[in-house]
Amino acid sequence: MLKIRCSALGKIMTNSRSKSEVLSKTCKTYLQELAIEEMYGIRKEFSSRYTDKGNLVEDESISLAQEVLDFGLMYKNEEHFNNDFLTGTPDVNTDTILLDVKSSYDATTFPFFAEDIPNKDYYYQLQGYMALCNKRKSVLAYCLVNTPSEIVEDEVRREHWKSHLIDESEELRAEVEARHNFDHIPTEKRIKTFEVRYDKDVVKAIYDRIKECREYYKTLIDENTKD
């Protein structure tokens, strides 16, 4: 039976623009990618400088959350959870907190003044985690930590290329490095949290959508496995 990763729930929960279609184009595209993976073992890999930074600084972001937030000891969760519909690995899952960290690429993407979660995909992701872990409250934490040096070096090269510079400009390097260092910002200002409460109606809607996804997914597999 098809199960959906919590991190992908935002894709399947998008609404179709067509009144005659239950599943959105985004949802169908995602399910098609899963079908190709199952049928041919070809998995679509996605990475970018943004996701690379998130992966590299995850532990640092969790440490920042532990330092600033009053939830006791935090550590990276390694346990993978499953139920009949979902699969996922929350970043932090202790007796006191279920927390997911999002490491902003730079200060321009950090939600300093946001009152609501900037990306609703993360709301669905946390609903999924709470359903898996039997929690009724969770926290989404945006963290602003310094960008690793290897990514900064890539940014320096990129900016020189955009400026058509062959020789290094010390001024441009300093500008890029400053853009990715946040030590001058108070620690408590470099984390922005959003509390997400378990909503049984939302989780039911997620499960109902997964049932619809399974029907479409089955047609993809069946149509492509006919003799």
Of 127, 49, 30, give the one whose Cα is nearest residue 88: 127
Residue 74 CB neighbour total at 10 angstroms:
22
Rounded alpha-carbon distances, angstroms, from residue 151 to 40, 56, 59, 221: 33, 10, 17, 40
pTM of the model: 0.93
Q: CA triplet 129, 207, 131: central angle to 5 degrees?
A: 25
The third-level CATH classification (topology) of the domain covering 4-146+182-223 is Lambda Exonuclease; Chain A (3.90.320)
Per-residue pLDDT of the chain (227 residues; tens, 9 = 90+): 899 999 999 999 999 988 889 999 999 999 999 999 999 999 888 789 999 999 999 999 999 999 999 999 999 999 999 999 999 999 999 999 999 999 999 999 999 999 999 999 999 999 999 999 999 999 999 999 999 999 999 999 999 999 999 999 999 999 999 999 999 999 999 999 999 999 999 999 999 999 999 999 999 999 877 65
